[in-house]
Amino acid sequence: MADSMVAPAERTLPHNLEAERSVLGAILVQNDAFNLAAQVLKGEDFYRDAHRRIFDGMAALSERSHAIDFVTLKEELSRTGNLDDVGGPAYVASLADGVPRATNVEYYARIVKEKATLRNLIYAANKIVAEAYGAEQESDLILDEAERSIFAVAEDRLKAGFVEMRDLVKQNFPKIEQQKERMAEHAGNALAVASVICAAGVLTGILSGTKMIDAMGHSVVSLVPAALGPHLAIITGLLSIPFTFFLSNDAFYFGVLPILAQAAATFGISAAEVGRASIIGQPVHLLSPLVPSTYLLVGLAEVELGDHQKFTLKWSAITALVLLAIGLLTAVIPWAGHR
């Protein structure tokens, strides 16, 4: 949020310097507290400029997997030319004095974040008021900009609590050796999944780009005898079992299904009814080599994909057929067209 807009001079912007000092002091006392604070805060959330610079210095140390204490922080601030600006070594050392409880750092951080959100809201509101008074743009454009400004404040508040993967890795595996071991353990599965999905993407891309999937859809429709036309909803459900296994969901639902729905419409079967029938094959689809999560799960379970498919396929097919039967009994899927 731009700092160019300020609140009226007679009123002080929302802030809590005691909470800011408590966050920084808790991190100096207990290094693990930084990861908890970083889930909620960014440097710009601090009201006092010195506190922003100190937190940014802590973040730089954490980024390099260095310990955060008085000595390392003083050195980092000195290296970046910020030590005197934040109050010198004496002020940095004083942060660790009188910290209520280092374990409450997340609570202190949320107080700081709440005040930062209120300040950003004030900045946004002042900007909106200034643009409305200026009337240099059409009202629709001013309203759009106002919505974006308020949304940006709300989005920043919602992001608090989300943590980058690299921070989670460092929090759970602080030593480089531990990180290397975990990556080596899972790299094989991850690479295999990525390779298979890329290959599958190339194949389905070729099928889609050359209109082969459309041709397959038209071929399927042409093979259905006219006498079975009124039962295209059931046929769609049965076809979804092998089609979503051998094709990606995108290829089936965006390539083949529209053609089936168009043909079914001539027999009085609505697109919604064909759509409901088309999800019958999803239990079998989850066994497809085109599903990344399946590869990941069988890898973690140390089970071969082929063995998993052999054991599970019959149960998945039975489940799909039971779903189709229930759909017919409840009339969610029509036995025949309505005309």
Q: What is the pLDDT of residue 287?
A: 84
Q: Report the amino acid identity of residue 226.
A: A
Distance CA 43, CA 116 (A): 11
Instruction: State whether 147 and 24 are in the same domain.
Output: yes
Q: What is the pLDDT of residue 83?
A: 92
Q: What is the pLDDT of residue 7?
A: 47
Instruction: State whether 81 and 219 are in the same domain.
Output: no
Distance CA 45, CA 52 (A): 7
Q: What is the pLDDT of residue 284?
A: 87
Do the domain assignments include residue 335?
no
Residues 33-68 have pLDDT tens digits of 888 888 888 889 999 999 999 999 999 998 888 888
- Domain with 316, as residue range(s), is 180-329
Instruction: State whether 280 and 227 are in the same domain.
Output: yes
Mean pLDDT (10-residue bins), the chain, 339 residues: 47 89 90 85 91 93 87 92 91 83 85 91 88 84 84 71 58 66 66 60 56 64 76 87 79 78 82 88 83 76 82 90 92 80
Do the domain assignments include residue 6?
no
Instruction: State whether 192 and 91 are in the same domain.
Output: no
Do the domain assignments include residue 2?
no
**DSSP per-residue codes, 132-170:** HHH--S-HHHHHHHHHHHHHHHHHHHHHTT---HHHHHH
Do the domain assignments include residue 10?
no
Out of 117, 140, 165, pick the residue that ends a domain: 165
Out of 134, 165, 196, pick the residue that ends a domain: 165
Mean pLDDT of the chain: 80
